[in-house]
Amino acid sequence: MKLNFSLPDSDMSLAGIASSNLKKKLLQLGVSPCIIKKAVISLYEAEINMVIHGGGGDVDIEITPELIIAVVSDHGPGIADIELAMQEGYSTASDLIREMGFGAGMGLPNIKKNSDFFEIKSKPGEGTTVTIKVNIV
């Protein structure tokens, strides 16, 4: 089963829609709460990053009997130093974004912790693609 969402830049009323729809679908499929939590947290963080930092983009989800795969991609500014971006507490979020409760610099580390496979590919000036996999069995 496949799900796809396109999210515009900086629209916080839509950010979160892919992960909440994933949650609904996984609940319908009877997936265990622990696995749902891992997948939804991971996708939420990537989705929010795409909207806040990446200028919006696409979320492509595939659910198989074994696996949840989410690819979150944007054509935003990209990340120059991925190792630095992965560090807990590192954030380039603006004051406005911080006032909205984001910008703790915990999103990427949280994805790594909660997923079974995590890959981030990014090129400055071209964009960022995050691939997340969570095993169902």
Binding site for ligand ATP (CB under 6 A): 45, 49-50, 53-54, 74, 76-79, 85, 90-93, 102-108, 128
User: Applying CB under 5 A, which part among 10-18, 42-50, 59-67, 80-88 lies near Mg ion?
Assistant: 42-50
Rounded to the nearest whole angstrom, what is the least distance from the CB of residue 113 to ligand ATP in the complex? 11
Residue 53 near which of Mg ion, ligand ATP, none (CB within 5-8 Å, type-dependent): ligand ATP
Rounded to a whole number of angstroms, the minimum distance from the CB of residue 49 to Mg ion is 4
Q: Which residues pair with 128 in a beta bridge?
A: 74, 122
Which helix (H) or strand (E) covers residue 41, if one does? helix 33-52
Q: Which residue is nearest to ligand ATP (CB)?
A: 107
Could you say which residues in the range 45-64 bind Mg ion, by CB under 5 A? 49
Place of tokens 């900086």: 10
For 51-113, the three-class secondary structure string (H helix, E strand, C coil) is: HHCCCEEEEEEEECCCEEEEEEEECCCCCCCHHHHCCCCCCCCCHHHHHCCCCCCCHHHHHHH
Cα-based angle 16, 58, 88 (whole degrees, multiple of 5):
60
Judged by beta carbon, residue 67 or residue 93, the one nearer Mg ion is: 93
Mask 92-131, x = binds Mg ion (CB under 5 A)? ---------------x------------------------
